[in-house]
């Protein structure tokens, strides 16, 4: 399986509900480093997985609505603990929507798998991956 990865970052504030989160129940900030990995079994006619520039632009556009937001105030996340795992799935879903709408160009249609990884630090991260609808 061939792969291409691009990286970006975003900063948010949020809090969690539940004793398991300890002091993170209070409002706190996080800066996530985000890796978007796209994979396919066969390269396209140009010998690419996808255009790296388009993948970088797509990731930046998906992250922009989250940047510098207090996620506790966002209606889309009402009642939800915006854990790293949850945010990885949220970003994955937005990437898939935009990919299916053509944001990665014709090469995006041949992708098999997309993976989103959010790094909380250099020693802890979470992710979500899944197949692209055909």
Domain of 53: which CATH number? 3.30.479.10
| Number of structural domains found in the chain | 1
* Confidence (pLDDT) at 134: 77
pLDDT for 107: 86
Does residue 83 come out as left (phi exceeding 0), alpha (psi in the -120 to 50 range) or beta?
Answer: beta
CA-wise closest residue to 58 among 117, 8, 1: 8
Mean of per-residue pLDDT scores for the chain: 97
Name the 3-class secondary structure at 14: strand
Please say if the pLDDT value at position 37 is more than 90.
yes
Q: How many angstroms separate the Cα of 133 from the Cα of each of 33, 63, 88, 101?
A: 26, 22, 18, 12
pLDDT above 70 as % of the chain: 100
The model's confidence at residue 109, banded by pLDDT at 50, 70 and 90, is confident
Range of the domain at 20: 2-131
Is 70 strand, coil or helix?
Answer: strand
Cα–Cα distance measured from residue 72 to residue 64, given in angstroms and rounded to the nearest whole number:
17
The whole-model pTM stands at 0.96
Q: Which of 36, 44, 16, 42 is nearest to 28 (CA)?
A: 16
CA–CA distance, 26 with 21 (Å, rounded to integer): 9
Q: pLDDT by residue (tens digit) across 67-90? A: 999 999 999 999 999 999 999 999
Mean pLDDT (whole number) for 106-112:
91
Three-class DSSP category at 95 = helix
| DSSP character at residue 27 | -
DSSP code for 76:
G
């Amino acid at each position: 399986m061939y792969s291409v990865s691009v990286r970006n970052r975003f900063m948010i504030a949020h809090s969690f509900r539940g004793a398991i989160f300890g002091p993170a129940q209070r409002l706190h900030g996080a800066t996530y480093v985000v890796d978007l990995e796209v994979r396919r079994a066969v390269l396209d006619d140009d010998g690419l997985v996808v255009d790296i520039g388009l993948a970088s632009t797509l990731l930046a556009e998906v992250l922009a609505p989250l940047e510098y937001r207090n996620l506790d105030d966002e209606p889309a996340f009402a009642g939800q603990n915006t854990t790293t795992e949850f945010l990885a799935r949220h970003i994955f879903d937005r990437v898939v929507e935009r990919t299916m709408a053509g944001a990665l160009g014709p090469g995006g249609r041949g992708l098999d798998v997309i993976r989103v990884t959010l790094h909380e630090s250099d020693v802890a991260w979470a992710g979500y991956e899944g197949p692209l609808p055909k």
